[in-house]
Amino acid sequence: MADEAARIGIVGAGAMALAFVRGVVQSDLLSPSEIAVNNRGNEHHLAPLREMGVRVVGDKEALCAASGVIVLAVKPKDAAQALAELRPHVLPSHLVLSLMAGIPLDFIEARLVAGAHVVRAMANTSSAIRESATAAAKGNHAGEEDLQLALRLLGALGPVLVVEERSLDAVTALAGSGPAYVYLLMESMIQAGSHVGLDDDVSRQLALQTVYGAARMLMETQHHPEELRSRVTSPGGTTEAALRVLEASGFRASLVEAIARAKERSSELGRAFE
Ligand X SMILES: NC(=O)c1ccc[n+]([C@@H]2O[C@H](COP(=O)([O-])OP(=O)(O)OC[C@H]3O[C@@H](n4cnc5c(N)ncnc54)[C@H](OP(=O)(O)O)[C@@H]3O)[C@@H](O)[C@H]2O)c1
Residues that bind ligand X (CB under 6 A): 11-17, 38-42, 45, 73-76, 78, 81-82, 85, 99-101, 123-125, 127
- Axis crossing angle, helix 178-195 with helix 251-271, rounded to the nearest 10: 150
Packing angle, helices 15-26 and 43-52, rounded to 10: 10
Nearer to ligand X, 168 or 190 (CB): 168
Q: Least distance in Å: CB of 84 to ligand X? A: 8
Burial 179-188 (b: 16+ CB within 10 A, else e): eeeeeeeeee
CB of 76 or CB of 194, closer to ligand X: 76
The single-letter code of the amino acid at 16 is M
Which has the closest alpha carbon to 130: 240, 255, 22?
22
In the complex, least distance from residue 4 CB atom to ligand X, rounded to whole angstroms: 23
Closest C-alpha among 61, 46, 40 to residue 15: 46
Smallest distance, Å, CB 212 to ligand X? 20
Taking the complex as a whole, how short is the minimal distance between the CB of residue 272 and ligand X, in angstroms? 14
Residue 57 or 190 having the CB closest to ligand X: 57
CB 78, min distance to ligand X, A: 4
Closest residue to ligand X in the complex (CB) = 14
Output 95 or 190, the one with its CB closest to ligand X. Answer: 95
Question: Which lies closer to ligand X via its Cβ, residue 177 or residue 203?
Answer: 177
Q: Are 164 and 195 in contact (CB under 8 A)?
A: no
Q: Where are any strands of DSSP class E within 99-185?
A: 117-122, 134-138, 160-162
